[in-house]
Chain A
Amino acid sequence: MTESELIAGVLAGDPAAERKLYDTYVDQVWRMTYRFAGDSDRAADWAQETFVRVFQRLRDFRGESRLGTWIGAIAVSVSLGGLRKTRRHAQREAPLDEGHAVAAPSRRIEADLAERLNRAIEGLAEGYRSVFVLHDVEGYTHEEIGKMLDVTPGTSKAQLHRARARLRETLSAFA
């Protein structure tokens, strides 16, 4: 089944096509939401929201990029929205509960490089982090990232360059 046949099937309300679309893209969506979320609960919430939006808005897909890129853009948008919401909750709750899990990592001194790296990535500004995760972690090209984040490939490259520089700085401070 080609991509356009799949889309036509979903738009016609064919349940088999809907399931096929889900099966085709669930791994990609799950990987993206999980990379941003870092836990299964939030990743599942965001993956669910991504697919709900995909089915709602598929009629608006103009075919100017691959369907996977368009779905990826929705997954990124949902994940970034989710991260912002999580940060807001964390900011609200942290003063009330000093022992809250969200506040704890910043106070712990971890010897483990992976843990330090996780924190350094999570400390990146949203734009840097998105490009870094999509490019260096997930392996998307700057062209694909540009389409997903609505920026030019040049901006994506510049953001990646700054993200790496920021990571190096942060990690050297821990060394």
Chain B
Amino acid sequence: METPMNEDDLDPRLRDWVRDYHLPPDPPREALWARITAARAADRTVPSPPRPLTTVLRRMRRPPLAVLVPTGVAALLALAFGLGRLSVRPAAPVAAHPASSPNLAVQVARADYLGRVEAFLTEFRAGAGSGRPDAAAPVDARRLLSATRLMLDSPGGQDPRIRPLLEDLELVLAEISQLPAASPAGVDLITEGLDRRGTLARLRYAVPAGSMPALQGEI
């Protein structure tokens, strides 16, 4: 048991008051359990939207280069063709709801943040796969964790389309930031969690959507 630091810093009289700070009554045990059960049941009935895409992207992650390059070129061509078609339409869907979108600065900041996390997690995963996890990963994760908490705290972080992803990222980054040096088992558990939750795929799915305003200028 540790010795509290600066035990004398707090007046003994204050210490008694402090113990009464927001003194909790007994918990409403049964009512709370009923609420938790109901919330979990409700969660189970809502399908998780990005799963099918997650599965597709996960399967796309490790094909041989000979397959990947032509497929990528074909996908880019299809995307370019699609964008060309969209650009001649008088009312593109993206522009149809300007009032409901977060402002440009928020979108750019979000896209930048998501891009950085995606790059970090991709590198982390690759390092874990090769058995050589980056020793600086916990430090980088800590920095990104602060950014994640800021994002969660920002008005953009309240968007229900992005909040579950941010909460997932907060957890993953917290796990990486606490990773002890040379802990392959810890790295495996984190990458396993990443795969199971489809975090990277959801992140990749979110990045282009968030960065559209920035990209539009370049296109």
CA–CA, A33 and B59, complex, Å: 41
What B residues does A75 contact at CB under 8 A?
none
CA–CA, A113 and B4, complex, Å: 24
CA–CA, A119 and B15, complex, Å: 15
The contact size tier of chain B is 35 or more
Q: Is the CB of A48 within 8 A of B19?
A: no
Main secondary structure on A side of the interface with B:
helix
What B residues does A38 contact at CB under 8 A?
22
Given A84-B153, A150-B177, are A161 and B22 also a contact pair (CB < 8 Å)? no
Stretch at the interface among B26-34, B69-77, B113-121, B122-130: B26-34
* B174 nearest in chain A by CB position: A150
What B residues does A66 contact at CB under 8 A?
none
What A residues does B189 contact at CB under 8 A?
60, 62
A24-60 near B? 1/0 per residue, CB < 8 Å: 0011001100111110100110011001100111011
Q: Is the CB of B178 within 8 A of A22?
A: no
What A residues does B22 contact at CB under 8 A?
34-38, 118, 137
The contact size tier of chain A is 35 or more
Instruction: Answer yes or no: A5 CB below 8 A from chain B CBs.
Output: no
B127-171 near A? 1/0 per residue, CB < 8 Å: 000000000000000100100000011010000000000000011
What B residues does A81 contact at CB under 8 A?
152-153
CA–CA, A5 and B153, complex, Å: 37
Q: Is the CB of A34 within 8 A of B18?
A: no
Q: Is the CB of A35 within 8 A of B145?
A: no
Q: Is the CB of B36 within 8 A of A51?
A: yes
Instruction: Answer yes or no: B96 CB below 8 A from chain A CBs.
Output: no
CA–CA, A26 and B31, complex, Å: 12
What B residues does A164 contact at CB under 8 A?
6, 9-10
Given A52-B43, A150-B145, are A35 and B32 also a contact pair (CB < 8 Å)? no
Given A34-B22, A60-B171, are A52 and B39 also a contact pair (CB < 8 Å)? yes
Q: Is the CB of B24 within 8 A of A31?
A: yes
CA–CA, A141 and B1, complex, Å: 8
Q: Is the CB of A161 within 8 A of B177?
A: no
* A161 nearest in chain B by CB position: B6
Instruction: Answer yes or no: B213 CB below 8 A from chain A CBs.
Output: no
Q: Is the CB of B20 within 8 A of A62?
A: no
- Residue in B9, B153, B186 whose CB lies within 8 Å of A161: B9
For this complex, 10 residue pairs linking A to B, each with C-beta atoms less than 8 Å apart, are A30-B24, A34-B25, A48-B35, A51-B32, A55-B36, A117-B21, A121-B21, A147-B178, A167-B14, A171-B14
> Hey, which bits of chain B sit against chain A, CB under 8 A?
1-2, 4-6, 9-10, 14-15, 17-22, 24-25, 27-29, 31-33, 35-36, 39-40, 43, 142, 145, 152-153, 155, 170-171, 174-175, 177-178, 180, 186, 189, 193, 196
